[in-house]
Amino acid sequence: MQKRSFSAKSAFVPTTGYAQATEVTGAQRLLFISGQTPTFADGTVPEGFEAQAKLVWRNIESQLKEAGMTLDNVVKHTTFLADRRYAMANRAIRVATLGDRSPAATVIICGIFDESWLIEVEAVAAA
């Protein structure tokens, strides 16, 4: 599988941690990960945005591992934030988690299903 991230010259150039577009060629498998919530296996939710965001990404990594994939396979993710004030913290945690990886991304500010959840992330991976 080949994966290439890019931004058209006429498009806004992203700051860090994502690409305007990601092209995948030669993939044999696609994995669509439902929105991962900031909940532990016992249903508890940690306090604070940073703890919740880190847990969501750990939950995504667990789903990837179960499918024999890693964060290297993520080609697109959508983040749902409960409040705009979490935007910069979200970016920092995403960049720390993804490192040099830059999949396509979208962030949406919205009401989330459970009011205790400050973030939810869904992802698409290819192998």
Q: What is the mean pLDDT of residues 76-89?
A: 98
Mean pLDDT is lowest, of 16-25, 80-89, 104-113, for 16-25
**Residue 30 token pair:** 């696609």
99 pLDDT band, cuts 50/70/90, is very high
pTM (global) more than 0.95: no
> Does 1 have pLDDT greater than 90?
no
Question: In order of start, what are the domains of the chain with their CATH numbers?
Answer: 14-126 (3.30.1330.40)
